[in-house]
């Protein structure tokens, strides 16, 4: 899709960079403290129709201070969305919070960033809404989340999690929420109309309920969509990217297809 159309459909961040429109978030009684504005990134979305995750259930989940989510790819590297950051280069303005489901917990691990690598193909017709954030020090006591390297797991039912809004138009969350969403074929996704007609099949994957009600939302941008592999281990197959609104009927969530960019992600990580 065109750059303007794509930015207007971003639903996973509340404050979009490069003049993008503000997206709708999800509401909840428990609201996380909003991070101060940063030169890079935007505030993302949260899980609609979700339930609270247990402490330690998804230990590799990361909350980024610009309001996006992410996953610990390596002890010193977080995988997130390209639209959460503005450029590749040195960056010490981002704080990653790990190790907790409650963002206000005194047990939270907080580490500053030192460098950001933003996908060189974002935003283009090739797709590539992914980015890596290098941390100032490794987090060795938190498990990492491996990524899919083939399309073998790009199907079935996925789990999503985040601290974003819990309803369209709502606030960011204090506690990590989780939900399950089923795979939607590219043809069905494109038939949803609007921005979905410009879906990039080779680079994006759709998931959601036909009748809506469960979805990622503002504040969830950059967070992982994951499932179990054949060995029963969690594997990241998608990165929260965009969609029209949150949990609307016939308007699924769109995720970066991680397997498409797995080699590029690994190569970039090796250089950090």
Active-site choice (40, 129, 154, 215): 129
Active-site choice (8, 221, 241, 259): 221
Contact 64/80 with Cβ under 8 angstroms? Answer: yes
Active-site choice (83, 119, 154, 215): 83
Residue 193, phi-psi category: left (phi > 0), alpha (psi -120 to 50), beta (remainder): left
**Exposed / middle / buried, residue 4 (Cβ in 10 Å: 0-12, 13-18, 19+):** exposed
The yes-or-no answer on residue 154 being catalytic is: no
Give the integer Cα–Cα distance in Å for 52 and 72.
20
Contact 80/130 with Cβ under 8 angstroms? Answer: yes
The yes-or-no answer on residue 83 being catalytic is: yes
For residue 263, give the H/E element and its range.
helix 258-271
For residue 181, give the H/E element and its range.
strand 177-184
Contact 155/176 with Cβ under 8 angstroms? Answer: no
Token pair, residue 260, equals 């498409």
Radius of gyration of the chain (CA): 16
The yes-or-no answer on residue 221 being catalytic is: yes
The set of catalytic residues is: 83, 129, 221
């Amino acid at each position: 899709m065109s750059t303007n159309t794509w930015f207007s459909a971003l639903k996973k961040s509340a404050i979009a960079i490069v003049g993008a429109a503000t997206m709708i978030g999800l509401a909840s009684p428990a609201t996380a403290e909003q991070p101060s504005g940063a030169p890079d990134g935007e505030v993302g979305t949260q899980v609609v129709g979700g339930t609270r995750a247990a402490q330690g259930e998804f230990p590799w989940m990361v909350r980024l201070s610009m309001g996006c989510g992410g996953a610990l790819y390596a002890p010193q590297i977080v995988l997130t969305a390209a639209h959460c950051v503005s450029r590749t280069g040195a960056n010490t303005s981002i704080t990653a919070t790990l190790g907790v489901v409650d963002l206000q917990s005194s047990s939270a691990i907080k580490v500053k960033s030192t460098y950001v690598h933003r996908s060189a193909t974002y935003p283009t017709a090739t797709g590539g809404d992914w980015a890596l954030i290098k941390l100032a020090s490794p987090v060795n006591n938190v498990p990492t989340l491996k990524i899919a390297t083939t399309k073998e797991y790009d199907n079935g039912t996925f789990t999503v999690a985040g601290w974003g809004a819990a309803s369209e138009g709502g606030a960011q969350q204090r506690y990590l929420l989780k939900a399950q969403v089923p795979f939607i074929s590219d043809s069905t996704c494109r038939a949803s109309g609007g921005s979905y007609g410009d879906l990039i099949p080779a680079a994006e994957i759709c998931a959601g309920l036909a009748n809506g009600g469960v979805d990622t939302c503002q504040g969830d941008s950059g967070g992982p969509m994951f499932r179990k592999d054949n060995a029963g281990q969690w594997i990241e197959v998608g990165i929260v990217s965009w969609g029209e609104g949150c949990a609307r009927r016939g308007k699924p969530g769109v995720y970066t297809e991680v397997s498409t960019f797995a080699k590029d992600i690994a190569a970039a990580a090796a250089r950090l």
